[in-house]
Amino acid sequence: MKYIYLDHSATTPINKEVLKAMRPYLGENFGNPSSLHYFGQKARKGVEDAREKIANFLNCKNDEVFFTSGATESNNLAIFGLIKKIRKQNKDRKLHIITSVIEHPAVLEVFDQLKKEGIEVSYLPVTKNGLVLEDDLKKAIKSETLLVSIMYVNNEVGTIQPIAEIGKLLEEINKKRTPEEKIYFHTDAVQAANYCDCKVSYLGVDMLSFSGHKIYGPKGVGALYVKKGTPISAIVYGGHQEQSLRSGTENVAGIVGMAKAIEMIGKKDNLKIRKLRDEVAKKLLAKIPDAIYNGDREKRIPSNANFCFKNVEGESILLMLDMEGIAISTGSACSSGSLKPSHVLLAMGVPQEVSHGSVRITLGKENTKEEIQKLIKALPPIIKKLREMSPIK
Ligand SMILES: Cc1ncc(COP(=O)(O)O)c(C=O)c1O
């Protein structure tokens, strides 16, 4: 059977050119970049050239890019690291931090942990289309607010949040506050990197996280941009790599691969992906009754289509499509495997019983029109069959 992969928000296949760039660093260039000899310096050059490419993409300085094991670690470092530094400076300072209800668990769980530690936390709601409103943020800000962390693109419904607008708003607010009262701004840009402008000056962010494996690069590698002057402490201790902010021998091949993947991000694929995605949305909504298209129609990345099909379970749809060789997801990869309803859809006001019938289809560069036609042909009879079997009518 020829398998069709339509789950690119979970992870992407490694691009051939990326693999080619990585290979020498898994072979002859195996040195430890901290070693002073020839082998070490070869590896160091790979890491520093990669840092430069990533800095170019983000439009920041090379020494503002820190390598990590992925976006989960980048998010943890950004948020815990800032709080830790501020607490070191003044342990009695009252702190308030803001995020949105639709963040990935790699942010939400960090906020939940900090809440348990006594920090005041505000969770911004979203509209029924899955968008954060600047007005809600304005209302949530207090004199004690230290951090705002809002994701650039939601991993389940693909909505693009107004990060640059929030950046401008915070800049204005910060002008009226003392440097000690500055509100720092972090964004999880994992799902945005392929499609959105990630220049940090345009976004007005102090910290930005991303990951290799969502951009046709390798897994287990990511980066955190930290603007010069942002107070941040390490949360991992050891050999003082990455300016002592992230100890541990660098994943040289992964870093080189991630930088190559970033270099290859291009707008040319977006149009093709958008056309195929729009075809999926149009055809499935026309062929399947009681189907809801989740998320904003305009403010969403071109690869994402997210539906709720009433009176069916998303997991059953996923398994039946898998038997036909088509891979999709019921929500984020991290929440699949659990039957918990999607926190994102619930936050958008989708009733719990309807949210159980959600599926996420995310396209990529390699998908073809023929593959999309197969999905459009396969899915309607599956939904029909599942509905006939369902006790709920
Ligand atoms: C929005 C978002 N943030 C963070 C992560 C975690 O990234 P990583 O797998 O690199 O730890 C993901 C992965 O699904 C994601 O979609």
Over residues 3-31, the pLDDT tens digits come to 999 999 999 999 999 999 999 999 999 99
pTM exceeds 0.85 = yes
In Å, how far from its chain's centre is CA 360? 15
**Topology match between the domains 4-12+267-389 and 16-263:** no
CA nearest ligand 1 atom 13, residue: 10
The helix (run of H) or strand (run of E) holding residue 107 is helix 105-116
pLDDT of residue 336 exceeding 70, the answer is: no
Could you tell me the CA-to-CA distances from 170 to 137, 166, 225, 310 in Å, in that order?
Answer: 10, 6, 18, 41
What fold is seen in the domain 4-12+267-389?
Aspartate Aminotransferase, domain 1 (3.90.1150)
Does residue 332 surpass a pLDDT of 60?
no
Residue type, 28: E
Q: Regarding predicted confidence, which is higher, 114 or 1?
A: 114
Q: Which tokens is 352 given?
A: 């719990």
What span, in angstroms and rounded, lies between the C-alpha atoms of 378 and 382?
A: 7
- Give residue-wise pLDDT tens across range 237-296: 999 999 999 999 999 999 999 999 999 997 778 999 999 999 999 999 999 999 999 999
Checking if the pLDDT of 121 tops 60, the result is: yes
Spatial neighbors of 345 by CB under 8 A, at least 6 apart, are 156, 157, 294, 308, 331, 354, 355, 358
Whose tokens are 């809440």? That residue is 115
Residue 34 pLDDT: 97
Q: Is 194 in the pocket of ligand 1 (CB under 6 A)?
A: no
Ligand 1 atom at minimum distance from 73 CA: 11
Place of tokens 């039957």: 339
> Tokens 């690291």 identify what position?
81
Q: H/E/C letters for each residue in 6-39?
A: CECCCCCCCCHHHHHHHHHHHCCCCCCCCCCCHH
The answer to whether the CB of 28 falls within 8 A of the CB of 184 is no
CA-213 nearest atom, ligand 1: 10
Nearest to 376 by CA among 251, 263, 283: 283
Mean pLDDT value of segment 317-331: 94
Per-residue model confidence (pLDDT) at position 266? 79
Q: Write down the pLDDT at residue 136.
A: 98
Distance of alpha carbon 43 from alpha carbon 117, whole angstroms: 40
Which CATH architecture is the domain 16-263 placed in?
A: 3-Layer(aba) Sandwich (3.40)
108 CA distance to ligand 1 middle (Å): 12
Residue 31 beta carbon below 6 angstroms from any ligand 1 atom: no
pLDDT of residue 358: 95
**Which pLDDT score is estimated for 334?**
44
pLDDT of residue 375: 98
Are 159 and 129 contacting, i.e. CB atoms less than 8 angstroms apart? yes
Predicted local distance difference test score (pLDDT) of residue 104:
97
How many whole angstroms separate alpha carbon 100 and alpha carbon 92? 26
pLDDT for the residue numbered 338: 58
SS3 226: strand
Average pLDDT over residues 346-354: 94
Residue 210, strand partner residues:
223
Active site residue 334: yes
| Mean pLDDT score of the chain | 96
User: Mind listing the pLDDT tens digit for each residue in 29-59?
Assistant: 999 999 999 999 999 999 999 999 999 999 9
Element housing 96 (H / E): strand 96-100
Rounded Cα distance between 342 and 370, Å, is 30
Q: Which of 196, 198, 308, 334 is catalytic?
A: 334
Contact 248, 238 (CB under 8 A): yes
Above 90 in pLDDT, residue 391?
Answer: no
The rounded distance, in Å, linking the Cα atoms of 233 and 245 is 7
Question: C-alpha angle 19/20/23, rounded to 5°?
Answer: 80
Interval 165-216: pLDDT, tens: 999 999 999 999 999 999 999 999 999 999 999 999 999 999 999 999 999 9
pLDDT surpasses 70 at 118: yes
Q: Which atom of ligand 1 is nearest to the CA of 70?
A: 10
Burial class of residue 139 (count of CB atoms within 10 Å of its CB; 0-12, 13-18, 19+): exposed
Residue 335 in contact with ligand 1 by CB distance below 6 A? no
Among the listed residues 267, 368, 386, 306, the one whose alpha carbon sits nearest the alpha carbon of residue 5: 368
Distance 201 CA to ligand 1 centre (A): 23
Domain positions in the chain:
4-12+267-389, 16-263
Ligand 1 centre distance from Cα of residue 105 (Å) = 8
Is any ligand 1 atom within 6 A of the Cβ of residue 106? yes
Q: How confident is the model at residue 162 (pLDDT cuts 50, 70, 90)?
A: very high
